[in-house]
Amino acid sequence: MQDAPLFFPDWAVIGRTVILGLLSYVAIVVLLRLSGKRTLSKFNMFDFVITIAFGSVLASMLTSKSVTLGQGVVAFAMLIGLQACVTFASVRSSRFQDVVKATPAILYYRGAWREDLMKRERVTKEELEASVRQSGKGGLDRVGALILETDGTISVIGTEELGDERALPPGAGR
């Protein structure tokens, strides 16, 4: 039985990884510049899936001998095209947008926890309180709203920053 190499089989494998890494990087940068800023935004779950898929394609290109640079570039272009199609359809059809995009949820509003929404969204008070601390607010008395955004982040809106509330999602008895 032949022993498997501990670090790498030979220098050719390392050279291939370095060359593919450099060329893949250039290809990604060029494709992303051509496709625009929206491609890497994280507005919703679909954007997150595209970002993860980009990483998976790059990892396959760098570590698998069976995936060529051409296949990887085509996969990147296909993902960018898919992202463009989904965003194009989302902008033009509210019904399609409802299918592919989540809606933000107000989990805390003017001193009241929305426990029904917290359960549905699987978010605990402790997680929301951690977001309050991370925002630099010392207590909930300084928080007007906590919003679970479509990308999974928590927006902490101070009581003084609520303003006319037109930017808040519907709900919380407003």
- Give yes or no: residues 145 and 116 share one domain: yes
Task: Identify which has the larger pLDDT, 162 or 4.
Answer: 162
Sorting pLDDT into bands at 50, 70 and 90, what band is 73? very high
Domain count, the chain: 2
pLDDT of residue 152: 85
Q: In the numeric block, which tokens belong to residue 168?
A: 């808040």
* Distance of alpha carbon 18 from the chain centroid: 28
Quote the domain boundaries for residue 115. 105-161
**Is position 44 within any domain?**
yes
Residue 172 has pLDDT above 60, yes or no: no
- Give yes or no: residues 50 and 64 share one domain: yes
Residue 13 CA: distances (Å) to CA of 8, 20, 62, 94, 152: 7, 11, 10, 49, 39
pLDDT of residue 171: 64
pLDDT of residue 81: 93
Sorting pLDDT into bands at 50, 70 and 90, what band is 107? very high
- Give yes or no: residues 95 and 133 share one domain: no
| Mean confidence (pLDDT) of the chain | 87
Q: Distance between CA 38 and CA 103 in Å, rounded?
A: 18
- Give yes or no: residues 19 and 95 share one domain: yes
For residue 114, give the CATH number of its domain. 3.30.240.20
Sorting pLDDT into bands at 50, 70 and 90, what band is 89? very high
- Give yes or no: residues 19 and 91 share one domain: yes
The residue-averaged pLDDT of 16-21 equals 91
Interval 125-135: pLDDT, tens: 999 999 999 99
- Give yes or no: residues 86 and 110 share one domain: no
